[in-house]
A and B are shown apart, each in its own frame.
Chain A
Amino acid sequence: MSTPVTSNPAQEESTVDHSKIKVSPEEMEAYDQSGRKPVLLGFFIAVVWLLIGTVLGDLSSFKFDRPDLLTEQAYLTFGRIRPAHLNVMVYGWASTAMFSVSLWLMPRLCRTPLRWGNLAVIGILVWTVGLGVGIALLLAGHGDGLEWLELDRQWADPLLVIGAAMVGASVWKTLAARNVHHLYVSIWYVAASYPWFLIIFLAGNMPFYKGVESAAVNWFYAHNALGLWLTTINLGLIYYLLPKIIGRPIYSYWLSLVGFWGLALFYALNGMHHLIGGPLPSWMIATSITASIMMIVPVVAVGINQHMTVVGRFGAMRYSPALTLAVIAAMSYTAVSLQGILTALVSVNRITHFTHWTIAHSHLGLYMFVTLSLFGGMYYILPRVLKKEWPSRRLVRAHILLVGGGMVLYIVALGIGGVLQGLSLLAPGEGFEASVSSAKPWLLLRSVSAVIISAGHLVFAYHAYLLAFTSRNSLTRHPPFYELKPVLVKKRVP
């Protein structure tokens, strides 16, 4: 059975003592089951949004190759489909899945059943209704006109705020009722994300900004939605999954602290680097460029910490799709952050600003990091909540290879296309036509990768359906990769 919670002050200093806490499988199962309803609901809704967002994204991509595709109806025009894709993916897929991740993580980390679980269920539903209303209005031509903040501030945003606050209340109530003395690093990230999100979302949606202030607030929000919401909950998840799956404590408590507080301090100031060269007071942009460069501190801290936790055990990725995805996601976090720092430098930004490079960058962040982390989380969490294993090894492998390969192709293609487009936009002698034609083949390649990724999503959704709604495979005794068969490595393990 479990040992009593430690109160030895010498041990409090290190997260290492988390590894000394022994929790019985029965106790763990009780925590998992305490959040069963909201966790499953959130994941279900998230996968539905994922499929909707995939269609919207594909359509947006195809419209670059065939500009006359589906132009007759206003709601199908590129300028509505594209923001709908972003909002569905950010608020529908990622955020809803993140609700489930938080509601599953908190009881385990606080060693207490989930509190106010029904409130969280209502919160997820309210959030979903708000998003549905917002997307419908957006497609009908009623949006706020600010990137990342398109959802109608009158009809959609209040529901999102209430929904997130309800889920957040459940998270914080569980935290307040904790039976552990030391707060594990994942708790910091997950718990802090909720007040952060509510503050930035409310600040971003206030209706009284004008002119360049409106731009400042827009990018203050949009950058922090990534930095203080999408990033933080997923870092919390990765910080939980890596040590848990390989059975080894986090490398350094102090690096975790530097990573967390450094991110909180610097990320929040980054937003204006989206407006480099723009008509804002130059000190604002300089502040953001400086803060962007300072991001190297928390990013490297987290990168080293997570790498040193896994190092030497990368072979374990063969046996766990969750670990495979969490490791790729963690590496992508480092990669996307370093790319972001690079892009914030004026010498790079003068080429890449206003080009498809930015889209490649945001997909490295939102897909290779956030989405893969959430897929990894679902591979780990769903079997434990549903108490049955993923039925097919083959489908897991197909999913990972399709989405991983597709997204690498996506990022490389758009990255190259973006740089070519940017060089052309900058070249004094070239007309605008050159920037369009230089990006065209890469945009076509992006559409190809979009199809590959979509196939991966269909595989995943089908597999999740098999897992959840068929009892056929509930008797599977082992996780899908238990009996080896390397995923990413050819060599057979004896």
Chain B
Amino acid sequence: MTRILVLIMGAMATVIFALVILVILPNSMLSDLKAPPQLKQPGQQELLGRQLYISNGCIYCHTQQVRDPVFTTDIHKGLGNRPSVPADYVYDAPHLLGTMRTGPDLFNVGTRLPDRNWHLLHLYQPRALVPWSIMPGFPFLFEHKPTAEAGDKVLDIPKPYAPSEGVVIISKEAEALVAYLISLQHNYPAPDSDALEEVQP
């Protein structure tokens, strides 16, 4: 090659071609995707919880997707009753599909583990409930006080994991994160919107 013009035009052409195929085209095809009626729009508290899910990097160990049963055992293993579809994610910005299952999938964690107190303790110290877990605890989402004040919600922690003195108070953040986790329930039947059929021939 001797010409700069060939280089720059060719380089631009290839990357823009890919951009059109993988970004611009899907953007227009998926733009009229409608939320399934059973999918609840996240509330204030759940959105705060989702923000904490992002800022503490839960995504680096947990996925939120159930894959095609043709070549995976996701459904067999109880991650959901059907593969996840684009319409399940219409309220997600940014997406939290994830790429690692160092920890289990959370797409239906609210159905699988609906107990609020379980989640609170599990966030404080996962090994108090799951001895083989390698998940880090998130004690910074809780407040450590010498004694509980009026209105404080105290976290009940089993002996070896409780701090030697004082009490652990459930913060607004911990509650929000748990509310978000419990809101992750996608057990309704897959919506079959027109948009979906169009993009999945």
Given contact pairs A211-B86, A211-B92, A213-B30, A282 touches B200 in the complex (Cβ within 8 A):
yes
* Interchain CB contact under 8 A, A426 and B72: yes
9 closest pairs, A vs B, by CB?
A79-B57, A277-B67, A268-B18, A141-B55, A145-B54, A211-B89, A354-B101, A281-B199, A192-B11
Residue in B2, B22, B134, B140 whose CB lies within 8 Å of A67: B134
CA distance A224 to B15 in the complex (A): 9
A97: chain B residues within 8 A (beta carbon): none
Interface positions, chain B 108-128, Cβ under 8 Å from A, are 126-127
B23: chain A residues within 8 A (beta carbon): 203, 213, 216-217, 220
A67: chain B residues within 8 A (beta carbon): 126-127, 133-137
* Interchain CB contact under 8 A, A271 and B22: yes
Residue in A143, A176, A181, A350 whose CB lies within 8 Å of B55: A143
* Interchain CB contact under 8 A, B89 and A440: no
Q: How many residues of B contact A (CB 8 A)?
A: 75
Q: How far is the CB of A93 from chain B (nearest CB, A)?
A: 20
B89: chain A residues within 8 A (beta carbon): 210-212, 215, 279
Given contact pairs A211-B93, A214-B93, A183 touches B4 in the complex (Cβ within 8 A):
yes
B93: chain A residues within 8 A (beta carbon): 209-211, 214
Q: How far is the CB of A433 from chain B (nearest CB, A)?
A: 5
Given contact pairs A209-B27, A268-B17, A79 touches B60 in the complex (Cβ within 8 A):
yes
Most chain A CB within a 10 A radius of its CB, from B10, B21, B74:
B21
* Interchain CB contact under 8 A, A265 and B14: yes
A82 at the interface (CB under 8 A from B): yes
* Interchain CB contact under 8 A, A215 and B17: no
Q: How far is the CB of B188 from chain A (nearest CB, A)?
A: 15
Q: How far is the CB of B167 from chain A (nearest CB, A)?
A: 17
Query: Mask for A168-207, Cβ within 8 A of B = 1, else 0?
Result: 0000000110000111000110011001100110010000
CA distance A175 to B3 in the complex (A): 11
**Chain B residue with the shortest CB-CB distance to A280:** B86
B138: chain A residues within 8 A (beta carbon): 71, 77
B150 at the interface (CB under 8 A from A): no
Interface positions, chain B 48-64, Cβ under 8 Å from A, are 54-61, 63
B68 at the interface (CB under 8 A from A): yes
Query: Mask for A346-372, Cβ within 8 A of B = 1, else 0?
Result: 110010011110100000000000000
Query: Mask for B188-201, Cβ within 8 A of A = 1, else 0?
Result: 00000000000111
A276: chain B residues within 8 A (beta carbon): 67
* Interchain CB contact under 8 A, A77 and B140: yes
B12: chain A residues within 8 A (beta carbon): 195, 199
27 residue pairs from A and B, CB less than 8 Å apart: A12-B2, A64-B102, A67-B127, A67-B137, A79-B60, A141-B55, A145-B59, A146-B95, A182-B2, A191-B4, A191-B7, A195-B8, A195-B11, A210-B91, A210-B92, A211-B92, A216-B22, A264-B10, A265-B17, A272-B22, A275-B97, A279-B84, A279-B86, A281-B30, A356-B102, A358-B100, A436-B134
* Interchain CB contact under 8 A, B136 and A71: yes
- DSSP majority for the B interface? loop
* Interchain CB contact under 8 A, B134 and A269: no
* Interchain CB contact under 8 A, B7 and A358: no
B159 at the interface (CB under 8 A from A): no
B65 at the interface (CB under 8 A from A): yes
Contacts A220-B23, A264-B15, A437-B132 supplied; 20 other A-B pairs, CB < 8 Å: A63-B136, A68-B127, A77-B140, A79-B58, A82-B57, A192-B8, A192-B11, A195-B15, A196-B11, A212-B26, A224-B15, A274-B99, A278-B67, A278-B97, A280-B86, A281-B86, A287-B22, A425-B73, A428-B76, A433-B132
Q: How far is the CB of A335 from chain B (nearest CB, A)?
A: 21
B155 at the interface (CB under 8 A from A): no
Q: How far is the CB of A293 from chain B (nearest CB, A)?
A: 16
CA distance A265 to B26 in the complex (A): 19
* Interchain CB contact under 8 A, B137 and A68: yes
B43 at the interface (CB under 8 A from A): no
B139 at the interface (CB under 8 A from A): yes
A462: chain B residues within 8 A (beta carbon): none
CA distance A78 to B126 in the complex (A): 14
B33 at the interface (CB under 8 A from A): yes
A192: chain B residues within 8 A (beta carbon): 7-8, 11
